[in-house]
Structure 1
Amino acid sequence: MPHHRGSPSANEILYHVAGSKPKIRVILDAGAQIVELENDEAAWFWLGLVLDDDIRAATFFNAAEDLCVVERDGTTELFLTSSYATNTAACIVFLDQAHTRGTDLRLPNHYRAAVALGPGLTKDKLAQACMRMRQLGKGQAVVFLVSAEIRRSITRLCDISESSEIKVADVLYWAVCETWRELERLVPLWATHGVRHQRQQLLWDKADTGSEYNLEPQTAAQFVESESQTLRERYHPSQEQTRPTLAGESTNVDAALDAKSAELAQIQERCLEFGIDSLIFAQAHLALFSLDEIFNSDKGPSSTLVLTCVLWHSRPWRLVLVCRHREAAEDRLPR
């Protein structure tokens, strides 16, 4: 189970894979570790490092989501119309994170794949990546590429020394724990969906005439939700509660939800298990969750995102988001 000191670059990972024994013919980047290079660049660079004469091309998904092959001279063509569609033994395969699920390639039974682990990799994503090797355990095999960061995470979790060899069982245990953390992060989203369902159920009950549903325009309009929000609407704390709470507190928007107090109490009970005592805080958690996705997305060099989260002693916590972009002016939030 190879591992790297520090955070390896894409080139370092490809050099390591090319020099591995037994030989690795497939890279499954389940943990999104090769991000500096485009798929075609990574595939061609890796192909140049593989000196075996029997390997003549590299398979990858291009920017248009087409499965392609690139030969040693740089010639690129669609995989399905190439001669390699029936001769995958002459190819190495590079699959980025997005395509480690749902891709079906018939690979030789002796092929060995390197699965790159990364932060937040859940057991389902790991299993999906490994199952790109359809004959896994019947000739095909996988090896895990572990960065120093992930290695420390695994050794701490499994209570083993950093010099100890990491076993497959340790990786699986780590992936299960990452899954638990991911599910815990999604509790606010679950709570929000639960309250939304209760609100909409009241509308359906109101429209139910027994034999059919009679949705008046005024009732139907209450199902409509905004597709987008301004920075002010999304992150600025309101001076009064405008969202339903889980504790059955009265609100100025959804007083009718009192009829669903039992269901809301169940949602609240589950949220309390995860340290979230109302939908006000659930929405705050969701705001941070959304920002985490923003920071982890590719915004390019023309964007700058700055987040400051301040906990005040005398008032609820406030979020200040400053966004500068070519297509967006700065949005200033009032105190």
Structure 2
Amino acid sequence: MTPRRFDPELGWPVSCFFLLFAVPSLYQLVNSGTPTWRIASALTVFAVYAALYVLASMKMWNLGLGPKLVLTAALLALPTALVWLIGLTSTWVFVYGLSLTAMMLPTVLAFSIGLPTLAVTAVLIVANLGFAELFTDWVVLASVFAATWFMGRLIRANYALASAQEEIARLAAAQERARLAEELREHLGHSLAAITAKASAVCAELERGGTPMENVREVEDLAREAVTQVRATVSGYRTASLAAEVVGARAALEAAGIVADLPTAVDRVAPAYREAFAYALRDGVTAVLRRASGATRCEVRLGESWLEVRDDGTAVVPVADGGGVDSGLVERVAGIGGRIDTGPCAEGGFRLRVAVPS
């Protein structure tokens, strides 16, 4: 969702409030003895000027550069007409047009228009009213122009910050969704592969006329474990345990009828590497269960900074540097400075090896 650049509900009351400062000067104009037609014309022009000022205050942040330039031209032409009607003592009316020019235009354009306008106004005041008059309305014009320019830059900076914060939130949400998807794929993939293998054993037992209650109960346990994994993943509190993965891998392999030659302890693995190795073990065993390679045996070997999973099935073309391996595992192994190698073993079968250089 894109944040609103400007709230019109805020624009019109603020601009109307600033227009109230013009009331005393307009009152003096009405009672100044100026010809009636000039007073009527000036009040009409000011009414149009004020309406345009309020409209521009509400719309300027959502307009392109072209419409902004048109508004700027109108906002400077109307006060020029007022000065022509009632004299140089009314140069204060430029304050509204110059303030919006400074605020809504890019810096180069704002100064390219505002500074010449101020300069011409100053020359006319000095030439016709004297140098002393320069320190009344003209100083206010210059000060307001500078102040509103700074205000415009501040508003733009705030908008940029809000947009950046929204983008950060969007990227964080996307990253969290990616994490959930990756974790669910990893955890459910392993559990479903084990359930599939155990279900195949149940079917085989039924075909032989047996009563596979033990296998059915194991399928139920595996399904419950999968539900627990999903809940832990969604809550964001799940971390992989190498010891638990060794136990789970043994159960999954045996359920599939594959001889599991796994270590009985994981103490020799450096603690900093155990979580990444746990994911590597899960990925490797899941690949053995999924791959239609005819594997009858799976071995897992562990060292202080390496892990190896190999089977005796039909090998595939070797792939190095994590190619063909789950991207989440590649990132985790890279996070500990490790390397993934996959490919056929010299004596047959397939191997996945994760190692962290010393």
TM-score, normalised by the number of residues in structure 2: 0.23
TM-score (norm 1): 0.24
Structure with greater contact order relative to length (CA < 8 Å, sep ≥ 6): 1
Bigger fraction of residues in strand: 1
Whichever structure has more helix as a proportion of its residues is 2
- The structure with more radius of gyration: 2
